Amino acid sequence: MKFTDLLHVASSALSAQGTRLRVSAENLANSGTVNAPGEEAFKRKIVILEAVSGRDKGPTMVRVGEIAESEEEGSLKYEPAHPKANDQGYVLYPSISPVIEMADLRDAEKSYRANLQVIEGAKRLVRSALQIIR
């Protein structure tokens, strides 16, 4: 694998993991969001990553294939005093688990850091090679 290929693979993975971080943070931010009666609840978004082969059978890159919406329906909670409660007194909340979102955030953050370390290691390698040449 060429040196530049290494950087391309790591940077594509950084971009994909950055998207995962953003989407998980958006899900967390909307976990308590409620809409007016009759409106659909916020749907959890899921990032689907895919591997893409480079040109001329080069290295395999990572990219966001799709950002899909969860099929799970929201949950109804009985809160008759809530301003967005329906006629029966129920409020529709999104089916987002903060625990699952935090686990996704943690996983994406670890992958992001690992790819960042690959890039940092490559930069150190180049610096060392340049010092040897001097």
pLDDT in tens, 29-68: 999 888 877 788 899 999 999 998 867 667 788 999 999 9
At 1-20, the pLDDT tens digits run 677 888 888 999 999 999 99
Q: Which of 12, 35, 15 is nearest to 23 (CA)?
A: 15
pLDDT of residue 25: 95
Q: What pTM did the predictor assign?
A: 0.82
For the chain, give me the number of helices (H) and strands (E)?
A: 2, 4
At 88-112, the pLDDT tens digits run 999 989 989 999 999 999 999 999 9
Whole-number Å distance between alpha carbons of 18 and 10: 12
Cβ density class 45-74: b for 16+ within 10 Å, e for less: bbbeeeeeeeeeeebebbebeeeeeeeeeb
Give me the chain's average pLDDT, please.
Answer: 89
